Amino acid sequence: MIVRIILYIMAALSFFYSFMIMRVRAGSHFYLIWSVIGVILVGLGISLKVGLFKKLPHWINITLIAGTCIVLVLIIGIVIRLITYSENDPKDGLDYIIVLGAQIREDGPSVVLRYRLEAATEYLKRNTETKCIVSGGKGTNEIMSEAEGMRDYLVSAGIESNRIILEDKSTNTNENIKFSKILIPEGASIGLVTNDFHLYRAIFLCKKHGLENVSPIRANSEPFYRPNNYFRESLAMIKDFIF
């Protein structure tokens, strides 16, 4: 009885969190995974009530439990690595910094992207010779490319437009880095600007594309949405390792 109550409470929290993420209009449908988790938790509660697992063969129960534990341990391990990744080395005097894109809305950058742009603005004002690559294409739900929106924000913040280079073809983090690399002369020093939850995977992808000495420049993020962001990044890391 107690276990079922806990499962139902966890399911209610998952549905609530999914709704809150949906309200942010983050530009993806990843929030649905929290609703899926809620449905699974409700299903587990009902299964316990009707004694479904007692009716299944013992080997199936063992397989389900073992598989669930393996997946949970893998995801938890990756999330811990993402959270504890503390490298933040914004060396002064870099030749270029790359700002990774995120959703652009009608009223400007999303919260996630605004944090990245604030970190980039602070660095660019402190290092007046550094050039900035803003990287991100136009999504189906965006009024302009992310690169254009980022340029407009930086210019309005006082950064000279001739210091800003647009990379407006990429559709994901891997392409952000792949296409931005083409715009940077060989041997140039580079900084990478993105949010705390995203930094480890972004640096991992930089190394994949041959950018070994990249200085991480950490931007903040909203604490309430970090569980969603870290969970999403952990699944993305698994995808990156596999493919």
Question: What's residue 50's pLDDT?
Answer: 87
CATH architecture of 96-242: 3-Layer(aba) Sandwich (3.40)
Amino acid at 62: I
pLDDT band at 28 (very low <50, low <70, confident <90, very high): confident
pTM metric for this prediction: 0.86
Question: What's residue 121's pLDDT?
Answer: 97
Question: What's residue 26's pLDDT?
Answer: 66
Q: What is the mean pLDDT of residues 164-190?
A: 95
Cβ neighbours around 233 below 10 Å, total: 23
DSSP symbols for 173-227: HHHHHHHHHHTS-TT--EEEEEEHHHHHHHHHHHHHTT--SEEEEEE---GGGHH
Name the strand (E) or helix (H) holding 122: helix 111-126
Upper half-sphere CA count for residue 36 (Cβ side, 13 Å): 5
Q: Which of 111, 89, 91, 104 is nearest to 134 (CA)?
A: 104
| Whole-number average pLDDT of the chain | 91
For residue 44 the two structure tokens come to: 């587990």
For residue 240 the two structure tokens come to: 């990156």
Domain locations in the chain as residue ranges: 1-55, 96-242
